[in-house]
Chains A and B, each alone.
Chain A
Amino acid sequence: MNFDMTEDRQMLSETLSRFLADRYDWETRNRVAYTAPYTDAGRWSELAGLGIPGALVPEEQGGFGGTGFDISVVFEALGRALCPEPFLPTLLASRALEAVGKDQTGLVDGSIRYAVGISEIDAPYDLAGMATCARANGAGFSLSGRKTAVYGAQVADRILIAALLDGKPAVFEIDPRAAGITPYGMIDGGGAAEVLLDGTPAVLLARDAGALLNSVIRAGRLALCAEAVGAMQFAYELLLDYLKTRRQFGVAIGSFQALQHRTVDLLTEIEQARSITIAAADALDGPDGDLKAAMAKNLIGRAARLVAEETIQMSGGIGMTWEYAGSHYSKRLVMIDHQLGDTDDCLEEVMQSYAA
């Protein structure tokens, strides 16, 4: 048993954190996060130059990472800095491309941007309710349907789409220029798009891709959990700082037991969140991978909402302001629950493990 980070990962974490502190300062973050196209092309290239996409991809595919702990390290640092760059779609695409053995050079060097469309309005988190359909079309295929809140699709060069083929989920690649892309910004920063498919030409990547898509979702859930851990930790440190400096009735408000005990409860839940994320990272591609990822996403959903709401409450009116960094962390922490399966959805998956 060993809970220390390897030297390589420690270096990766430090490199990324330093870059984000220097080149992605708070003003930059807010400008990029809330202004179309919700990404900064120059900084994206710099991040690719640092090898960040490569850390999400195994060596055989041209990267130098790709394990659960590599994913955790990267996304925890991104979460701490609340970086809105679309690394989640990069990870999801990489997992899909890896499964079909497709070249990832462009993804690793940052020159090709991917997005992955799984969610639909009536089936946000599960593949079973999916309505987007593929039809054989001469030598290729065409897709019809609508994918919703496709993160990163506003700037994607390629979009991977989950669609039904012969009644089973399959994965296709499309050129966004052939689809209807309606971009928008997200309440918590960053961008996405609705992707309208109406006979859109598509290349088939994988048939009968239920397991493949599960592996994509599993890795995405882990990444979101790690991002939340980083964001929770930072929000918590901001709160501690506030409790020590803000004075009322002649004393620091941190001396009030009512606030102290609630602060400790946050610490307890953050440590639990960190632990379950470690468990999910460790199990990522093992037999318990899906279950541990669902467990993690459920606990993270509960903890992140608690941290988000309590840090607002305990910061008083300040926590409600745009000016205060903590408010943006709160938004991200709550909205993470809306990606790749929410608290209840993941709980249900754990419950299904009880069925005889």
Chain B
Amino acid sequence: MDLRFTQQELAFQQEVRDFLNASLPEHICAAVRSGAELPRTVLQEWHEILGRKGWLGTTWPKEYGGPGWTPVERYLFDVECNRACAPRIVPFGPSMLGPVIQNFGTREQKDSILPRILSGEDWWAQGYSEPGAGSDLASLKTRAERDGDHYVVNGQKTWTTLGQHANKIFCLVRTKKEGKPQEGISFLMMDIPSQGLEVRPIRLIEGGYEVNEVFLDNVRVPVSNLVGEENKGWTIAKFLLSHERTNIAGVGISMQALEEVKSLARRMIRKGKPLIEDPLFAARIARVEIDLEAMKITNLRMLYQAQKQGHPGPETSILKIKGTQVNQELRDLARRALGPVAAPFPGTITEANLMFGPLNSEANAATYFNNRKTSIFGGSNEIQRNILTKAMLGL
């Protein structure tokens, strides 16, 4: 065993650092550091920079314009981006639809869709969940009925992340009612806006607009927008979910969050001493740092395994569970470190009462509340435990 990265991997890491130093604009970096919601323009600008470099579709093979990175290189890229305070890549086009089209799409779909993802022209959203179909995705009800060379789509999607920015959406729809629920599902792409398609924001617990409902009322979609075969969408759905779970540990994000917690705890004073010298608080930091330290290795072990086998196994669910626990504990600690200064509602602190506390403190409690989502989305942590049970217990 040898935990050191290879010379090649270290050279790659340096290349990423150099690129980020040279190409990540200061205003984007500052926006990320503030912890506030990023506007579309900022995300778009960053996507275009990455797209030009060929680093947007990080999982794509070279033939489709990807960098052809190994899992370890993708991990290093993620860690470096978080360290540099780069925005995360909005995954729906680059990380989810891209690989789906590459594996299941027609030649025409590959030619028309993939370049527009990399250029940032198309912004994709995901239409998987429904009000009655979250973790139990197979029970989805949105219908698509054939009418000549169109499908007519009716139903409702929900939890559509950043759907307000998107001009395209891919959906799972029901094309057959008979048989097993998994066997009547198809994978369909649609335009936003389309006649009868409406995106309505859902306001989240912290007050932000990150997710949306999508209402579909007799939306006409060309049959050529079907990916793969009709009624075979479940295979694609599972393929896409496995891509959603790559890099799910969020080690890079948590490493950055740990640094923030420590620096905050060094700045904040309690009983005349820096908070980091308070044994109860320091103990909590130490525990989560140890868990994160172990998780870095767990993550690398699984990447190493995936690299050898060619695909990740069910143990990625372990990363999801532990990764979100660590992340949520760190967000809790950041909020606790601020004490009363964490209380104001984001955006209501004005220059006049800045003496209240650090300027960027106001996003901390909001981030804490927002990040309760991580153990719910991408298959709730309870679902991950079910997946692991099946893989391990054979029951």
Pick the contact of A279: B266, B293, B321 (CB < 8 A): B293
Most chain-A CB neighbours within 10 Å: which of B279, B293, B295, B305?
B293
Which of B2-10, B99-107, B193-201, B329-337 contacts its partner?
A: B2-10
Contact present for B389 and A264 (CB under 8 Å): yes
Q: Is A260 an interface residue (CB 8 A)?
A: yes
B304-A350 in contact (CB<8A): no
Q: Which of B339-395 contact A (CB under 8 A)?
A: 382, 384-386, 388-389, 392-395
Which residues from B are CB-within-8-Å of A240? 392-393
Stretch from B80-88, B108-116, B284-292 at the A interface:
B284-292
Residue of B nearest to A276 (CB): B294
Indicate which residue in A243, A268, A354 contacts B318 across the interface (CB closer than 8 Å): A268
Residues of A within 8 A of B276 (CB): 354
A356 interface hit (Cβ, 8 Å) = yes
**A306-356 contacts to B (CB < 8 Å):** 347-348, 350-351, 354-356
Let me know if B9 and A272 touch, CB within 8 A. no
The yes or no answer to B143 lying at the interface (CB within 8 A) is: no
Q: Is the CB of A1 within 8 A of B386?
A: no
**What 1/0 flags go to B260-293 for Cβ under 8 Å of A?**
0010001000000010110100110111011101
Given contacts A69-B1, A347-B283, A350-B286, contact A275 B389 (CB under 8 A): no
In the assembled complex, which residues on chain A have CB atoms less than 8 Å from the CB atom of B388?
Answer: 264, 267
- Pick out which of these stretches binds chain B: A2-10, A26-34, A106-114, A181-189: A2-10
Complex-state Cα separation, A264 to B315, whole angstroms? 11
B300 touching A1, Cβ below 8 Å: yes
Cα distance A56–B153 when bound, in Å? 69
Contact B389 A271 (CB under 8 A): no
Is A137 in contact with chain B by the CB < 8 A criterion?
Answer: no
Cβ of B146 under 8 Å from chain A? no
Contact between A271 and B1, CB atoms less than 8 A apart: no
A275 and chain B: residue at smallest CB distance: B297
Cβ-defined contact, B386 with A260, below 8 A: yes
Chain A residues within 8 Å of B2, by CB: 1-2, 282
Contact among B4, B6, B266 for A356, CB-based, below 8 A: B266
Which A residues are in CB contact (< 8 Å) with B395?
244, 252, 254-255, 260
8 Å CB contact of B9 from A1, A265, A356 = A1
Q: Is the CB of A3 within 8 A of B386?
A: no
State whether B262 touches A299 (Cβ < 8 A). Answer: no
Asked if A254 and B393 sit within 8 Å, CB to CB, the answer is yes
The answer to whether the Cβ of B301 comes within 8 Å of any Cβ in the partner chain is yes
Most A-side CB within 10 Å, residue of B385, B386, B394: B385
Q: Decide if A261 is an interface residue (CB 8 Å cutoff).
A: yes
**Separation of A6 and B2 alpha carbons in the complex (Å):** 10
Complex contact B287–A347 (CB within 8 A) = yes
Q: A1-B72, A5-B1 are in contact. Are A272 and B393 (CB under 8 A)?
A: no
CB neighbours (8 Å) of A261 from chain B are 382, 385, 389
Max chain A CB contacts within 10 Å: which of B277, B290, B295? Answer: B290
List the A side residues contacting B304 at CB < 8 Å. 1-3
Interface positions, chain A 250-265, Cβ under 8 Å from B, are 252, 254-255, 257, 260-261, 263-265
**Contact status A1-B4, CB under 8 Å:** yes
CB <8 Å contact, A271 and B283: no
Question: A244-B395, A263-B393, A264-B392 are contacts. A298–B290 as well, Cβ < 8 Å?
Answer: yes
Query: CB-nearest residue of chain B relative to A4?
Result: B1
**Contact B382 A279, beta carbon cutoff 8 Å:** no
Q: Does B322 contact A (CB under 8 A)?
A: yes
Chain B residues lying within 8 Å of A3, measured Cβ to Cβ, are 1, 300-301, 304-305
- Residue from B274, B282, B294 within 8 A of A299 (CB atoms): B294
Q: Which residues of A contact B392 (CB under 8 A)?
A: 240, 263-264, 267
- For B9, the chain A residues whose CB sits under 8 A away are 1
* A131 CB–B CB distance under 8 Å: no
Minimal beta-carbon separation of B341 from chain A (angstroms) = 21
Report the nearest B residue to A292, measured CB to CB: B293
| CB-based contact B294/A273 at 8 Å | yes
Chain B residues, Cβ within 8 Å of A4: 1
A356 to B6, CA, bound (A): 33
Q: Say yes or no for A295: interface residue by CB 8 A criterion.
A: yes
The answer, yes or no, to whether B256 is at the interface (CB within 8 Å) is no
List B309-328 residues whose CB lies under 8 Å from chain A: 315, 318, 321-322
A133 to B308, CA, bound (A): 56
State the CA gap A155–B9 with chains docked (Å).
50
Which 7 A-B pairs have CB atoms at the shortest separation, nearest pair first? A275-B297, A276-B294, A260-B389, A350-B286, A272-B294, A275-B298, A264-B385
Ordered by A's residue number, 8 sampled pairs between the chains whose C-beta atoms are within 8 Å are A1-B3, A3-B304, A257-B386, A267-B388, A268-B318, A275-B295, A295-B293, A351-B282
